[in-house]
Amino acid sequence: MIKGFVFTLDALFALLLAGIGISLLLFFAYTAPTPYYVQASSSSSPLSGFASAKLGSLSSIPLVNFIAQQDAASNQTWPMPIKDQYNDGGNNNGPQAFTLNYVFNATAAIVNGTIVSDYGNVYFGAGNVIYALNVSTGNTSWTSNTLYNSVLNTDPVVNADLLYGGFLIYATQADIVALSAYNGSVVWSSPTPYIAGNKVKLYLYDGKLITYVYDSSSPSSSPLYAIYANNGTTVGSSTQHQNVIQYLAISNGQIVASSSSGSISMFTQILNSSYSAGQIWTMTPSCSPYPIGLAAYLDIIAYGCGDNANLNSVSNSPIFSAVQGSAVSGVSIYSDSIAFQDSSGVSLYSAAGSYSYQWSESIPSSYGTAVLNATPAISSSSVYTLWSNKYLLMQNLSTGAITANTSIPYSGSINPYMALAYGRLFASVGSHLMAFGSCPVNTNDSILSAIGTLYINGRGSCASYILSKLQQPSNYAITINGLVQQNAAQFNGASSQINVISTSLLRPNYITLSLWVQLISTGNYQYIVDTSSDSQTSTSGMTFQVTPGLNGYYITFGNVINNGFTSFNIGSGWNQFVFTYAGANVYTYVNGQQESTFTASGNIIGWNSDPIVLGESEGGNAVWMKGNLANVQIYNTSLSPSQITTLYQEGIGGSPLPASGLVGWWPLNGNTNSYANQYTAGYPTDIQFQTASYNSVSLQSSYSVTSQSVPIPLLNYSKGAYKLYNVGIYSWK
């Protein structure tokens, strides 16, 4: 069963030979392999070109550079407000595009401030459950329910967690518990020294957990105390701070706390059982109701006060106070960069030298306003921020310019806390945890090994993209154990959809939509693509749907454009549909052949404000698709009949046409991202991926098929083990 991604190798091989030599990279092991080189049998073999060149040598491909930056990230977690402020995590690299590695849907809303990552996992709390997910795959490593509390008669909800010395330490209303970060087993537990119902937050310094609690029997009190992180025994406590604490930070080994009364105080570190936290100084900034956000780094303290961004020394000497565009919602410090997020923008200051102003950037109102306790995430090149309309923005660290954005369609509250680790950005909305990053493969692998690894781990879209950038498709295909790996997105007809967000690059009266679909009859309309705000009879945006009985299809474009219906026996197999519009006529093509045309006029409106939804109507009346969808392409030009024939001949795994105005390409070969120039996320709901079971048209009519392969051990992400595969090339003519 040959399915496929096909590509031409002659020009590719000429490109590779210029810089890679003729050595063939092979591995012979089932555990972590040690590479060695053997002489290639033929320097002109396309197979040897792929096998001897490293993926990292393809530096002209943007996505390969993104992969390299992800490789360079350390295996430590981002220093969140609840983590040791002295540990900068070594995360100089964050994602350079909002492509989605995976989405995990927990059984409850993810608790604010609980996302941390290390030891190969990302950890978070949702309801009364602690989750550990494999950081590369999103598969569950382990889960653990919080300890049952006899006073509360319930499993308490998680409040916060952090990582220390191989432990995942979390707090509930009644207990602090340390689990093994590797398997979730309980190492120790320590009841908080106050009544049930306390709300605990954790901070780490010098091997000690510094915490404060809210005592429901004494609402005006927030006692500070410390326990040893390795065994849970008490270090000491202090009752000097009598107002409810809102924020806490650690600076130069001392505790900084802001309270609901509006004061900010500095305390000495809790050292042992005989030494309580003593107050050094206290101040009350002139803002109401209280300072927003609190962060510390070395000997500086940053906080928001109304619409002012403030920086003080640990001795309480003012460094600067700068007016922002609106009220400050949060502050973060990473290395020498201090980011203040206010209601309508972001400002960056440098902590190097004289703590200088760097830039301020106003955010368009369409993104919303900053959420309370906003915590910008900062890498060596970017600042990442969340906004109330569920937009995630990426800004250039040097200039503040917005370099990428993505809208998050999931329901639920935005979690203002994000985490950077392993080159990925972790964010959550409601019960959905999203990992934004790049394709999870090592740039030190050979091209052949890297592509094979992506295919066997269900990341065929990444492999398809890389191959498409190397050379346009023709009669060749990469194979694994003799088969080409081509998946498709499966829709269940009841709840499956992919929200792929709108693009601003579409021209108002030029468009080509190309897709491959395999449908199962439901006796109802099935929406394949929809960008309109009204269902079924939309007069704006773009809609493609099939009719009951699968005996035809229906396409609309724009506001004053006529509706077009074409009868066609769709059947149960794969069909390619292409629609073009150039301001006068809509042309429809099925399997490379023109089927119909109808007169049309006007612009395609509603595109920029409405999302593109695959598999479900975007309007109020939900109408679902049942079947499989693959290789959705959108151009801002009207392709010619010969170009459409080329797309059909390439098959279900074919790459887009070069220099033809591509604005969206969703291969759907293992993930839902767009691999057009914007590299944007596609958000799946109840989507599965399965083998496409499709033979390319060219291969079906071929009279000569040849193949070459080489055994290479490839890493299975889920099993964490290597297995030997024959990775090779099919060619036909």
The answer on pLDDT for 156 being more than 90 is no
* Residue 424 CB neighbours (<10 A): 25
Strands 121-126, 23-26: parallel, antiparallel or unpaired by DSSP? Answer: unpaired
Pairwise CA distance, residues 44 & 116, whole Å: 49
| Ramachandran quadrant class, 647 (left: phi over 0; alpha: psi -120 to 50; beta: rest) | alpha
The answer on pLDDT for 512 being more than 50 is yes
pLDDT tens profile 339-368: 999 999 999 998 877 778 899 999 999 899
Say what the pLDDT of residue 261 is. Answer: 78
Identity at 627, one-letter amino acid code? G
The answer on pLDDT for 86 being more than 60 is no
Say what the pLDDT of residue 557 is. Answer: 67
Q: Is the dihedral of CA 67, 69, 71, 73 positive or negative?
A: negative
The share of the chain scoring above pLDDT 90, in percent, equals 35
Buried b (16+ CB within 10 A) or exposed e, 639-677: beeebbbbbbbbbbbbbbbeeebbbbbbbbbbbbbbbbe
Say what the pLDDT of residue 130 is. Answer: 93
Lowest-confidence segment of 89-103, 438-452, 481-495, 646-660 by average pLDDT: 89-103
Say what the pLDDT of residue 507 is. Answer: 74
CB 564 within 8 Å of CB 583: no
Mean pLDDT, range 588-613, rounded to an integer: 76
Q: Which H/E stretch holds residue 487?
A: strand 487-492
Say what the pLDDT of residue 600 is. Answer: 74
**Contacts by residues 125-130 (CB-CB < 8 Å, ≥ 24 positions apart):** 125/157, 125/158, 125/159, 125/160, 125/161, 125/170, 126/158, 126/431, 127/157, 127/158, 128/154, 128/155, 128/156, 128/157, 128/158, 129/158, 130/158, 130/161, 130/168, 130/170, 130/179, 130/184
Which of 425, 393, 387 lies closest to 406 in space, CA to CA? Answer: 393
Residues 6+ apart with CB under 8 A from 153: none
The answer on pLDDT for 566 being more than 90 is no
Confidence of residue 78 (pLDDT cuts 50, 70, 90): very low
Q: Which residue has better confidence, 345 or 149? A: 345
Mean pLDDT, range 384-399, rounded to an integer: 95
Tell me the range of 199-203, 603-607, 661-665 where mean pLDDT is highest: 661-665
Lowest-confidence segment of 319-333, 565-579, 593-607 by average pLDDT: 593-607
Lowest-confidence segment of 30-39, 357-366, 564-573, 686-695 by average pLDDT: 30-39
The answer on pLDDT for 185 being more than 90 is yes
Confidence of residue 604 (pLDDT cuts 50, 70, 90): low
Task: Name the percent of the chain in helix, strand, coil, to the closest 5.
Answer: 10, 40, 50
Q: Which H/E stretch holds residue 52?
A: helix 46-52
Say what the pLDDT of residue 426 is. Answer: 93
H/E/C letters for each residue in 500-522?
Answer: CCCCCCCCCCCEEEEEEEEECCC
Please state, rounded to an integer, the average pLDDT across all residues of the chain: 80
Mean pLDDT, range 436-464, rounded to an integer: 93
Beta strands in 298-431 (DSSP E): 300-305, 308-313, 318-323, 328-334, 337-342, 345-350, 357-362, 377-378, 382-387, 391-396, 402-407, 419-421, 424-429
Q: Is the dihedral of CA 31, 34, 40, 43 positive or negative?
A: positive
Q: Is the dihedral of CA 125, 129, 135, 136 positive or negative?
A: negative
Say what the pLDDT of residue 7 is. Answer: 35
Say what the pLDDT of residue 437 is. Answer: 93
What are the structural domains, with CATH classification, of the chain? Answer: 10-54+445-486+701-732 (no CATH), 108-429 (2.130.10.10), 487-693 (2.60.120.200)
- Report residue 340 CA to chain centroid gap: 23
Lowest-confidence segment of 136-140, 421-425, 442-446, 594-598 by average pLDDT: 594-598
Lowest-confidence segment of 83-97, 370-384, 562-576 by average pLDDT: 83-97
CB 649 within 8 Å of CB 697: yes
Q: What end-to-end distance do the CA atoms of the chain give, in Å?
A: 17
- Report residue 313 CA to chain centroid gap: 36
Reduced to 3 states, what is the DSSP secondary structure of residue 128?
Answer: coil
Say what the pLDDT of residue 627 is. Answer: 94
Say what the pLDDT of residue 344 is. Answer: 93
Lowest-confidence segment of 545-554, 683-692, 721-730 by average pLDDT: 545-554
Say what the pLDDT of residue 20 is. Answer: 33
Q: Is the dihedral of CA 59, 64, 70, 71 positive or negative?
A: negative
Task: Find the Cα–Cα–Cα–Cα dihedral 658, 661, 662, 664, rounded to 10°.
Answer: 180
Q: Which residue has better confidence, 487 or 583? A: 487
- Report residue 343 CA to chain centroid gap: 24
